[in-house]
Amino acid sequence: MLDALPFVPPATWKEVRLDGKSSGAIDLRYDTTKQELHYQIDLQAEQTRVTLPALALTADDVSGTVRVATG
């Protein structure tokens, strides 16, 4: 479901993969001066598999916070 978020580049979810239970909050801010959208997504993962392909790392049964933000 995360890769369906329209304001997060799809490449983001290729770098960080979550599979499992997580709740979250999304903070969107629009800078009218620069006409830029800024976002921060905080996911509270529980019993989740986290994969970071660039590090060849997969961790199972993970609990914690994953933050994805502009820039």
What residues does each domain of the chain span?
A: 2-69
Greatest Cα-to-Cα distance within the chain, rounded to the nearest angstrom: 43
Residues 19 and 32: their CA atoms lie apart, in Å, by 35
pLDDT band, very low/low/confident/very high, at 42 (cuts 50, 70, 90): very high
- In the predicted model, what is the mean pLDDT of residues 46-54? 92
Cβ–Cβ contacts within 10 Å for residue 50, how many?
19
Render pLDDT for 1-37 as a digit per residue (tens, 0 to 9). 777 777 788 888 888 888 988 888 999 999 999 999 9
Question: How far from 54 is each of 17, 39, 51, CA to CA, in Å?
Answer: 11, 23, 9
- In the predicted model, what is the mean pLDDT of residues 33-48? 92
Residues 30 and 13: their CA atoms lie apart, in Å, by 22
- In the predicted model, what is the mean pLDDT of residues 48-65? 93
Residues 13 and 11: their CA atoms lie apart, in Å, by 5
Residue-level pLDDT at 58? 96
